[in-house]
Amino acid sequence: MKTIIISLKIFLFFTMLTGIVYPLLVTGIAQVTFPAKANGSLIVNDNQTIGSSLIGQQFDSIIYFTSRPSAISYNPLPSGGSNYGLTNLKLKNLVAERKKQFIVFNQLDSLTVIPSEMLFASASGLDPHISKQAALLQVARVAKARNFNAIQKQNLVQSVKTLTETPQFLILGEERVNVLILNLELNKLDQNFH
C-alpha cells in the first residue's frame, strides 16, 4: 500500500510539473520574448485577422498571385501531403495537369520552365511561400487583370523583389516570397482595388 501511495504522489507531482507548470512557463517566456510568433504570426488588416504568415491560403482569382498546390485544400487540421511516390502514375498526371493549368492561367509559352513548387504540393499542404521565380512568372497576368500601367507593373516587380525572403541563416532553404503578404502589398499598389 505504501508503494501505491508513493507512486500516486510521484504521478501527481510529474503531472503538475509537466502538464501545468512547464507549459505555463514556456508560454510565458514565448509571450515575453516572441509575442507575435507565440500568437500564431497573425496578419491583421483593417482590424481584421486575415490569416497567418505561416499558413498558406488558396488564391484562385486572376487578380492575385496563386499559392503552391495543396493536397489538403489548405485546411490546417489534417495537415499533410498526398504521400504519392515519385513513380506513382497519379502524381505524374497531377504534375502534368498542374503544369498545363499554370501555363494556361498565366498565359505563358508552353516551353516555360515552371518552378517545382507550383507543380508539387508541399509535405504539409500549408506552405505559404513560393519562389521568386514563380511569383515573377505571375506578374504579367496579375498586372493585366488589374489594368496596371507600365509604372504600376514595374512597382509590382519591385514589390516581389523587396518581399523576397533570403534563406534562413543565409544557408537554409531558398529565396522565397510569402503569397499572402505579396497579395496584401498588391492591394496597396492597386489604387482602384476595393
For the segment 41-47, the average pLDDT, to the nearest whole number, is 86
For the segment 24-29, the average pLDDT, to the nearest whole number, is 94
Give the pLDDT band (50/70/90) at residue 39. Answer: confident
**CA 50 – CA 128 distance, rounded (Å):** 13
For the segment 125-138, the average pLDDT, to the nearest whole number, is 95
pLDDT at residue 191 is higher than 80? no
For residue 91 the three cell numbers come to 502524381
Tell me which of 1-10, 42-51, 60-69, 126-135 is least confident.
Answer: 42-51
Please tell me the predicted confidence (pLDDT) of residue 192. Answer: 59
Q: What are phi and psi of 177, to 5 degrees?
A: -130, 130
pLDDT at residue 36 is higher than 90? no
Determine if the pTM surpasses 0.85: no
Q: Are 106 and 137 in contact (CB under 8 A)?
A: yes
Per-residue model confidence as pLDDT tens digits over 69-106: 998 988 888 888 888 888 999 999 999 999 999 999 99
For the segment 9-21, the average pLDDT, to the nearest whole number, is 95
**CA 112 – CA 138 distance, rounded (Å):** 12
Sign (positive or negative) of CA dihedral 96, 92, 133, 74: positive
Question: What are the sequence ranges of the domains in the chain?
Answer: 1-39, 41-189
Using DSSP, state whether 64 is helix, strand or coil.
coil
Per-residue model confidence as pLDDT tens digits over 153-181: 999 999 999 999 999 888 988 999 999 99
